[in-house]
Structure 1
Amino acid sequence: MIETMLLLSLILFGIAILITFTRMIIGPTLPDRVIAMDVIGVNLISAIAIVSILFQTKAFLEVILILGILAFISTISFSKFIERGVIIERRR
């Protein structure tokens, strides 16, 4: 019963990622695309956690941590780009 629920939730996360990916491609503005990218990261982390539960292993926990850090850094970088036009300012 639990495995069936986990597989169903994995399928639903996959559908959510596909829908959000279409928002990232079609999104009318750049902030919409950044938010869609962040939502894809969160859904992907959740899906990897479910796969880790299904396989009964802790090997994917490092992948979840690295993916979370990369999603956070990319969201901050794109937000800085939207706000200022550059990511790294060089003052000389």
Structure 2
Amino acid sequence: MIERVLLGAATVFILVSLVGVYRTIVGPTTPDRVIAINFVGSNVVIVIALIAAAIGEPGALDIALVYALLNFLLSISISKFQVERGGVL
């Protein structure tokens, strides 16, 4: 029973992430895209954790943790690139 609830929650997070994908594509500004990419990445970490809990595989939480760190580094590097390029007002 709890597995169905966890997988249902993961499905909801995937559907919510589609809004972030739309915002990543449409924009309108680069900071909006950076925030949307970070939002989608955070939701992916949550989905991985929920699926790991649903299937009873604690090793997958390590994958979620590594993905969270990579998501953070991606956001920082994109922001740094924008500052150096002069795209920040």
Counterpart CA distance in 2 for 1:80 and 1:16 is 27
Residue 69, structure 1, aligned to residue 39, structure 2: no
Q: Which residue of 2 aligns with 1:90?
A: none
Counterpart CA distance in 2 for 1:65 and 1:5 is 22
Counterpart CA distance in 1 for 2:80 and 2:72 is 12
Residues 44-87 of structure 1, C-alpha deviations (whole Å, 9 max, x = no match): 0000000000110112122112101110111001111111118x
State the TM-score, normalized to the length of structure 2: 0.89
Q: Which residue of 1 aligns with 2:31?
A: 31
Note the residue ranges of structure 1 that are not aligned, 5 or more in a row: 87-92
State the TM-score, normalized to the length of structure 1: 0.86
Runs ≥4 in structure 1, deviation > 3 angstroms? none
Percentage identity across paired residues of the two chains:
36
Q: Which residue of 1 aligns with 2:44?
A: 44
Residues 17-53 of structure 1, C-alpha deviations (whole Å, 9 max, x = no match): 1111011001100000000000011100000000000
Counterpart CA distance in 2 for 1:25 and 1:68 is 22
CA RMSD of aligned residues (A): 1.3
Larger Cα-atom Rg: 1
Q: Which has the higher helix share?
A: 2
